[in-house]
Amino acid sequence: MTFEPKIVGILCNWCSYTGADLAGTSRIKYSPNVRVVRVMCSGRVDPTFILKAFADGADGVLVAGCHPGDCHYIEGNYKTIRRMALFKRMLKDYGIEPERFRLEWVSAGEGDRWAAVVNKITEDVRKLGPTKIKPAARKKVAFSAA
């Protein structure tokens, strides 16, 4: 059986989720590997969510938001840039390959770009293979938004 990567996508409501919707209504064909979670803004994405996805067995995580300057909440995605710049280094310290995590900007009109982003991370993660985080190294926690 071929390995199909399980990728968690965390998408902002205003741009990227709508962009993914456009990819669907435009009948663009792309990899079905991303499971989408909708948040109101990429600035809502706490790095805890990403670690939680990896701890629960995700092979990759994709965070997508509005292009810088286009945030529905004016500055939310600047917070995302700052957090993810540091968080990428934390993932590296954990020994998680950088290709398993991507931060991308996808606008509401970029259905084709959404498809390309999903295809790219899916192929990158497929090359890496399944997550190398052993089950014993993952902590299971019940999670309420905190």
CA end-to-end span of the chain? 39
By CB under 8 A, how many residues form the interface with other proteins?
Answer: 35
CB 102 within 8 A of CB 8: no
User: ∠ CA 11-16-20 to the nearest 5 degrees?
Assistant: 100
Rounded to a whole number of angstroms, the minimum distance from the CB of residue 127 to other proteins is 17
In this chain, which stretch among 2-10, 108-116, 117-125, 130-138 interacts with other proteins, using CB under 8 A? 130-138
* Positive or negative: CA dihedral 45, 51, 53, 58: positive
Nearest alpha-carbon partner for 32 in 61, 2, 5, 57: 5
Q: How far is the C-alpha of 68 from the C-alpha of 43, rounded, in Å? A: 12
* Cβ distance to other proteins smaller for residue 20 or 117: 117
In this chain, which stretch among 16-24, 28-36, 58-66, 76-84 interacts with other proteins, using CB under 8 A? 76-84
Estimate to the nearest angstrom the gap between the alpha carbon of 21 and the chain centroid.
Answer: 16
Which parts of 28-67 interact with other proteins (CB under 8 A)? Answer: 43, 46-48, 50-52, 54-55
One of 89, 98, 109, 129 touching other proteins (CB under 8 A): 89
Contact residues toward other proteins (CB under 8 A) are 43, 46-48, 50-52, 54-55, 68, 78-79, 81-83, 85-87, 89-90, 92-96, 132-134, 136-139, 141, 143, 146
